Structure 1
Amino acid sequence: MALFSEDPAPTESKPIPKRRLAGWWLFAIAAAVALVFVVTPSPYVIEQPGPTFDTLGTAPHVDDDGEESEVPLISIEGADTYPTEGELRLLTVSVVGRPGNTPNWLDLLGAWVDPERTIVPLESVYPSDVDPDEQDAANQAAMVDSQQDAIAAALVALDLDVVRDVTVAGVLDDSPATGLLQEGDVIRSVDGTEVHDISALRAAVAAHGTDAPADLGIVRDGTEQTVQVTPVEQDGVVVLGVGVTMHYEFPIDVELRLDDVGGPSAGQMFALGIIDELTPGAMTGGENWAGTGTIDSSGNVGPIGGIRQKMFGALNAGAEWFLAPESNCDEVVGHVPDGLRVFSVDTLDDAQAAIEAVADGGDLDALPTCTAG
């Protein structure tokens, strides 16, 4: 006989506890917020260490036919060159993001906890009133100008004859120089003091002030003459109201080749590489150096951006020694990565002195460095 069991009694559905329900709601909200952070662009970009290049070595190059090869960063003709050792690395900073394609908030969180990377406002890298492509083109132009300045600085340091003309590129609207200076004029002196670079011109004009006309010694169409221009103050700076550029004539041929790198901050390291190749013996003594800094034809080293990322880039590239512009010391103190020793420099002579002291086993504690305050 078949046995049958009674139908089980229906089970009552139990309500989900409010605490568990609240937990699910919090999880859903957190997931939604996380999704927003992942997909929502930010008004920031990330600066991080970029590629480094040994000015004594080679770098990738693409010729006009699209052929890729390794070429020397520095090529010199018309003078004897000498074998070198060690490295003199120039440094770059890579920017993650650009207008219309900025990092999301999750990317920023990763950068915030990484000492090698820095978060900066998009506007500080790509101003809203400047087209990004124009900005890139300006950076490329700055690199070309800095290379010419580096060649001039190196050859001047080696006591070679270099024509260094501070040339008027244009007269600004409502300028005190209107009708007095014109495009193509070469400014040779201010109040009798010779000027051979733009930094010297700015310093001389600032020293003169705005109370009286300055005597400018110029060359126009091959004829020397003196004109008087009264400087004015603009945004806290004493100016003549003209744009100027440098015109050089070199006694030897020096070619610097580095693709896809913009900005003026490689000037110091290019100048050091040129000097090393034009002088007997290895300046570095086989040591691996890296550094950064703008340079003018008189050998003055100027400030740059992204020095924290560049210090990490130097360390990652195997450098033990680093040359930092003295004017960047406030950004160096407290941020030097372990394993890197930093020396502050104000001129090309300072940089050579530091490199040679390390090579010769000199007193390194006597060399200037960046200190707090």
Structure 2
Amino acid sequence: MPGPTQNVLGSSDGKQIIAVSQAHTYRSRGKLLLTTVNASGLPGYPVTNAEVVWALFDPHAVVMPREVVVPTGQTAEEYEAESATEMKDSQNSAVKAAKNMLRKRGIDVADAQVSMHVDDIGGPSAGMMYTLGLIDKLTSQDETGGKTIAGTGTINAKGTVGEIGGIRLKMLGAKRDGATWFLAPRGNCDEVVGHVPSGLRDVAVSTIDDAYDAVVAIGKGKGASLPHCTVDTDVEKTK
């Protein structure tokens, strides 16, 4: 089901989600929301038959075989360790991608020390939003312009945005928590088209430059021309 969102420009449990030292930071009036999925039935998170039946009839829930998500026989400890490692790697890649982009734009942040804090969230899918949040904090421009912008996607040090799972549920969570824009990996566009909640505008992105330019355009009130997700019908016919 749709999970909680977190504003990467804000704080959680009294700690900044993105904390920066040895560099000047700036505040933003808007929000950049990372999005999540609440999953039951994973190792360590048992689900009852009644819950499965209920979810089958809930339009805001998805039921799938457990083996689609995790390997057969994986223990709760193994699942938690893998999820935590993916999150840590994602945060490290986000820092590298943000610094690389800022350096290309003539901003020296080589000495900036960054730590990221989010409780009870694992996996790699928040990478793009971490990167955008760090860039926002290290630049004087208020990129969001006071808007609430959500999104999802993995990131690597080169700034490539990768596809993720559960994007339809994440869009529902974004809309629920006040977002009016949603940055979606282009690789997930076949799952986005036809499933964007009313009042939420999707934007297809492939790189952190795409995502950053989209945030700036949205913040300036010029997001109307940003690319929607589309599906290549010729590709779909061959599947």
Q: Please, what TM-score do these two structures have when normalized by structure 1?
A: 0.58
Distance 1:147 1:99, change over 3 A: closer
Aligned mate of 1:137, from 81, 88, 92: 81
Is 1:303 aligned to 2:157, yes or no?
no
Q: Secondary structure at the match of 2:95?
A: helix
Distance 1:100 1:317, change over 3 A: closer
Verify the 8 A CA contact 1:307 1:332 in the aligned structure 2: yes
Is 1:369 aligned to 2:228, yes or no?
yes
Letter in 1 for 2:162: G
Cα deviation for residue 127 of structure 1 reads 1.7
Q: Secondary structure at the match of 2:37?
A: strand
Is 1:150 aligned to 2:105, yes or no?
no
User: In proportion to residue count, which structure has more strand?
Assistant: 1
Q: Secondary structure at the match of 2:187?
A: helix
Number of residue pairs matched? 227
- C-alpha distance in 2 between matches for 1:348 and 1:330: 20
Is 1:350 aligned to 2:214, yes or no?
no
Distance 1:278 1:310, change over 3 A: same
TM-superposition CA deviations, 1:54-83 (whole Å, max 9, x none): 0000112xxxxxxxxx11101111111112
Aligned pairs (5 A) from 1:15-164: 48-60=1-13, 70-99=14-43, 102-159=46-103
Cα deviation for residue 135 of structure 1 reads 1.5
- C-alpha distance in 2 between matches for 1:129 and 1:291: 32
- C-alpha distance in 1 between matches for 2:45 and 2:88: 28
Verify the 8 A CA contact 1:139 1:263 in the aligned structure 2: yes
RMSD: 1.6
TM-superposition CA deviations, 1:12-48 (whole Å, max 9, x none): xxxxxxxxxxxxxxxxxxxxxxxxxxxxxxxxxxxx1
- C-alpha distance in 2 between matches for 1:159 and 1:293: 22
- Give the percent of matched residue pairs that are identical in Structure 1 and Structure 2: 46
Which residue is 2:107 aligned to? none
Letter in 1 for 2:185: P
- C-alpha distance in 1 between matches for 2:3 and 2:146: 24
Distance 1:270 1:100, change over 3 A: closer
Distance 1:133 1:157, change over 3 A: same
Distance 1:109 1:56, change over 3 A: same
Aligned pairs (5 A) from 1:210-249: none
Verify the 8 A CA contact 2:23 2:111 in the aligned structure 1: no
- C-alpha distance in 1 between matches for 2:209 and 2:191: 22
Verify the 8 A CA contact 1:116 1:308 in the aligned structure 2: no
Aligned mate of 2:112, from 252, 260, 263: 252
Alignment gaps of 5+ in structure 2? 105-109, 233-239
Cα deviation for residue 254 of structure 1 reads 0.7
Cα deviation for residue 371 of structure 1 reads 1.7
TM-superposition CA deviations, 1:215-247 (whole Å, max 9, x none): xxxxxxxxxxxxxxxxxxxxxxxxxxxxxxxxx
Which residue is 2:133 aligned to? 273
Verify the 8 A CA contact 2:94 2:157 in the aligned structure 1: yes
- C-alpha distance in 2 between matches for 1:140 and 1:94: 16
- C-alpha distance in 2 between matches for 1:103 and 1:259: 22
Distance 1:286 1:93, change over 3 A: same
Which residue is 1:182 aligned to? none
Question: Which of these two proteins has the greater Rg computed from alpha carbons?
Answer: 1
Q: Secondary structure at the match of 1:290?
A: strand
Is 1:286 aligned to 2:230, yes or no?
no
Letter in 1 for 2:30: G
Aligned mate of 2:186, from 318, 326, 329: 326
Alignment gaps of 5+ in structure 1? 1-47, 61-69, 161-249
TM-superposition CA deviations, 1:117-146 (whole Å, max 9, x none): 100111122321422320111110110010
Letter in 1 for 2:155: I
Q: Secondary structure at the match of 2:33?
A: strand
Cα deviation for residue 281 of structure 1 reads 2.4
Cα deviation for residue 99 of structure 1 reads 4.9
- C-alpha distance in 2 between matches for 1:363 and 1:98: 38
Q: Please, what TM-score do these two structures have when normalized by structure 2?
A: 0.90
4+ runs deviating over 6 angstroms:
none
- C-alpha distance in 2 between matches for 1:357 and 1:81: 21
Verify the 8 A CA contact 1:126 1:132 in the aligned structure 2: no
- C-alpha distance in 2 between matches for 1:363 and 1:271: 20
Structure number with higher relative contact order (C-alpha < 8 Å, ≥ 6 residues apart): 2
- C-alpha distance in 1 between matches for 2:67 and 2:219: 43
